[in-house]
């Protein structure tokens, strides 16, 4: 059995120039990538009556194969990847999306509410590994999910196709996503097929909603819903003001006053967002 890429080397090393070219020129890989991205876009559940192009973040965009699918469906996209070699191939392919070199585990460097959705194909599992002594997978996942949550609009979804190695990895990524504020869970397409089986982590920012139906089986057998801990996160968050909203800030200031801490007076400027120009 061949070793999984994430066990061979860190992604920025594994996807060197030769691997990047091989990955992009392999017709089988291209076909699979296109199919998985089309499915991820379907799971985003973009309003079919909204004719305006959506701004989508492609996480682990590689050489821009998924970006090309987004372009074909009329969307605008920005791609982030840790491999300079993969991004170089994307530039050679003259993709339309903007490209950014970055490490998912260090977070997404975008303003709040920037994106209408996010997709990621075959990238999330890399964050489950510690490639350096300084890497702590739970902390890196939480940093990633919390900054991603901030960068999405409040009715957006993020869909990750990934290859979990164990049930513990599924628990790890879903629990960190829920801690960051997301709702959602795992959708497993074709769960009874060794070759066609695919895992999708479907995350929502707008509150609890029914998970999309999986392909290849009935809904009940193909969806992994919240575990108990994730359900508790959802229950605690339900009905509370959004973090850093005016109501949230005022409540926090009142708690500080009750604790005897020095707290500034409330004013009409309390919790007002600063201009992005500063």
Q: Are residues 222 and 244 in the same domain?
A: no
* In-domain check, residue 117: yes
Considering only CA atoms, which of 49, 98, 28, 197 is closest in space to residue 90?
98
Domain span at 244 = 239-277
Quote the number of domains for the chain.
2
Q: Are residues 81 and 179 in the same domain?
A: yes
**How far is it between the farthest Cα atoms of the chain?**
66
pTM: 0.75
CATH code for the domain of 97: 3.40.50.150
Q: Are residues 43 and 161 in the same domain?
A: yes
Domain boundary among 198, 226, 254: 226
Q: Tens digits of per-residue pLDDT, 190-247?
A: 999 988 999 999 999 987 788 999 998 765 444 554 444 444 544 454 455 554 566 7
Q: In the predicted model, what is the mean pLDDT of the chain?
A: 84
* In-domain check, residue 234: no
Q: Tens digits of per-residue pLDDT, 121-179?
A: 999 999 988 777 778 999 999 999 999 999 999 899 999 999 999 999 999 999 999 99
Q: Are residues 184 and 53 in the same domain?
A: yes
Q: Are residues 121 and 204 in the same domain?
A: yes
Q: Are residues 115 and 18 in the same domain?
A: yes
SS3 183: strand
């Amino acid at each position: 059995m061949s070793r999984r890429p994430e066990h061979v080397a860190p992604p920025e090393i594994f996807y060197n120039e030769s691997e990047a070219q091989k990955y992009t020129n392999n017709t089988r890989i291209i076909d699979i990538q296109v199919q998985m991205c089309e499915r991820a876009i379907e799971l985003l559940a973009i309003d079919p009556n909204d004719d305006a192009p959506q701004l989508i973040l492609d996480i682990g965009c590689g050489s821009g194969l998924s970006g090309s699918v987004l372009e074909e469906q009329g969307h605008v996209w920005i791609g982030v990847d840790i491999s300079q070699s993969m991004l170089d191939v994307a530039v050679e392919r003259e993709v339309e999306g903007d490209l950014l070199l970055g490490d998912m585990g260090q977070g997404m460097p975008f303003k709040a509410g920037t994106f209408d959705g996010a997709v990621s194909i075959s990238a999330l599992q890399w964050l489950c590994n510690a490639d350096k002594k300084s890497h702590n997978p739970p902390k890196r996942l939480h940093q990633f999910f919390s900054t991603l949550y901030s960068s999405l609009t409040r009715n957006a979804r993020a869909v990750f196709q990934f290859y979990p190695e164990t049930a513990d990895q599924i628990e790890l990524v879903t629990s960190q996503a829920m801690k960051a504020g997301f709702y959602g869970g795992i959708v497993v397409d074709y769960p009874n097929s060794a070759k066609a089986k695919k895992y999708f982590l479907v995350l929502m920012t707008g509150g609890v909603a029914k998970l999309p139906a999986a392909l290849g089986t009935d809904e009940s057998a193909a969806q992994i819903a919240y575990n108990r801990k994730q359900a508790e996160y959802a229950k605690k968050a339900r009905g509370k003001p959004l973090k850093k909203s005016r109501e949230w800030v005022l409540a926090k200031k009142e708690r500080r006053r009750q604790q005897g801490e020095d707290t500034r007076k409330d004013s009409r400027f309390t919790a007002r967002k600063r201009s992005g120009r500063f």
